[in-house]
Amino acid sequence: MATIRGEQGAVQFNAAGSSNATIVGTRSWSLTTTKETLDISKQGDTFRSFVGSMISGSGTVELVYDPDATGQAAFLEDVITAADPADASFELFTTGTTTGSDSAVFTGIITDMEITSTVGELVVVSCNFITSGTIAMNLQ
């Protein structure tokens, strides 16, 4: 059984346009997917029955801030896009950066961003996002 270390993951992003670029300085990422359920029980049933319904996702990307790092500016500035059409593409990798391999792929919207600067420590940026549309899981 292989063990996956956090240092092997990466995030690729594109605000809308060409192909995704790796965001240099990624410290961590998380993705939570949620499936709603519908109660399909009928009168006379003793036990409830459910069926899966709408799926949504949300998560966080944390970066070590570097104003010269490839991909960071476009990623951080996407939060200030008014009337965002949810056309930003994300690919979150558990290992490497081979598109479509060990990753989650989706479009979404960056909903908020926080920059934290503490004396004697790294400047860290945390961005939260929500998914919009299909979430493709290419986990192997």
pLDDT over 60 at 24, yes or no: yes
If one compares 78 and 119, the residue with the highest pLDDT of the two is 119
> Which tens digits make up the pLDDT trace of 52-71?
999 999 999 999 998 888 78
> Cα dist. 49→20, 24, 27, 42, 126 in Å?
42, 46, 42, 9, 40
Termini Cα distance of the chain: 12
Residue 16: its pLDDT value, please?
76
Beta bridge mates, 109 = 130
Residue 46: its pLDDT value, please?
97
Contacts of 48 (CB under 8 A, 6+ apart): 39, 41
Four-residue CA torsion sign, 97, 98, 102, 108? positive
Residue 6: its pLDDT value, please?
58
Q: What are phi and psi of 122, to 5 degrees?
A: -70, 150
Four-residue CA torsion sign, 113, 116, 122, 123? positive
